[in-house]
Amino acid sequence: MKYTIGAYIFDTDQLLLTREGEVVSFRLNEAKLLALFLSEPNKLFSKEEILDKVWAGKIVAEQAVFQNVRNLRAIFGEESIKTFSKKGYQWQLSIRRVNDELTTNSADMSVVSSGAVNSGGSEREGKSKVKRKLIAVSFLLSTLMMVAVGWWQFTISALPKLAFIPLIAAQELPQTFVDSLEDSLRNAEHFKAVDFSAQKVSQDFFWAPQKYFHTISQTTKAPYVFMGKVSEQAGSFRIQYLLKSSKTVGELNSKRRQRPS
């Protein structure tokens, strides 16, 4: 189902937000929260209900709700979501359901602007495939990072810092895809990413982490350092990642995930 929110169009089925034909980048949980608000725009949702429906019972801090509400307000304006003290949140802006035919052109334009490559079928199918790829890879990498750091350590008051080295991506992957993937990882809720982009050190760190870990950790004041490589081979994504702390020995890990059809 598609809705217009001012100049925006939001597809609740694909969790895709566009403005004047261009995709607006925001996180998956923010998209789920927006879809929840639009499903019953006059309803006051409690924090508990939001946590249950958006995070599906996962153990996360209530602060996550506030952060996602704040990010939606950054897109739609402070007045878009009203806070009711000790009660919850309610959507405030007017919305209108849109006929699929009216938004086809806008959705197709977003594929072209994103630089997605679609060798066959419609542009709409290409857009869906690219989005599914991004969600799949982002989810896998962020999950691996979360497990390795230890999700039980995360608290509202102090999220662990993680030095984030830009991904090394195969040339055949669209740059917009890589950028969106990096943004999704940087904005993960379970740690605070600190960018580290010294090119020489970054490239060497992947193969000799023990040589550069302390330099990167001291520079960023982060106890963890993450670096990953993403490629596409024979219809599957190949993900090589390195997550190192002062207590671990640098090891290269490799995962494969079948490309979504």
CATH fold of 2-98, please? Arc Repressor Mutant, subunit A (1.10.10)
CATH match for 121-258 among 3.40.50, 3.30.70, 3.30.460, 2.40.128: 3.40.50
**Entry pTM:** 0.42
Q: Does residue 122 contact residue 105 with C-beta atoms inside 8 Å?
A: no
pLDDT over threshold 50, residue 64: yes
At 93-104, the pLDDT tens digits run 999 988 643 433
Question: Given this model, what pLDDT does residue 134 score?
Answer: 62
110/60: higher pLDDT? 60
Beta-carbon contacts of residue 145 (< 8 Å; ≥ 6 apart): 162, 185, 188, 190, 191, 226, 241, 243
Taking residues 122-146, what's their average pLDDT?
Answer: 57
Question: What is the end-to-end Cα distance of the chain in Å, rounded?
Answer: 22
Can you give the residue ranges of every domain in the chain? 2-98, 121-258
| Average pLDDT over the chain, rounded to an integer | 74
Question: Which pLDDT score, from 0 to 100, does residue 153 have?
Answer: 47
pLDDT digit string (tens) for 169-185?
A: 877 777 777 777 777 77
Question: What is the spatial distance between Cα 255 and Cα 257, in angstroms, rounded to a whole number?
Answer: 7
Q: At what angle do helices 175-186 and 123-149 cross, to 10 degrees?
A: 40
Q: How far out from the chain centre does Cα 219 lie?
A: 26
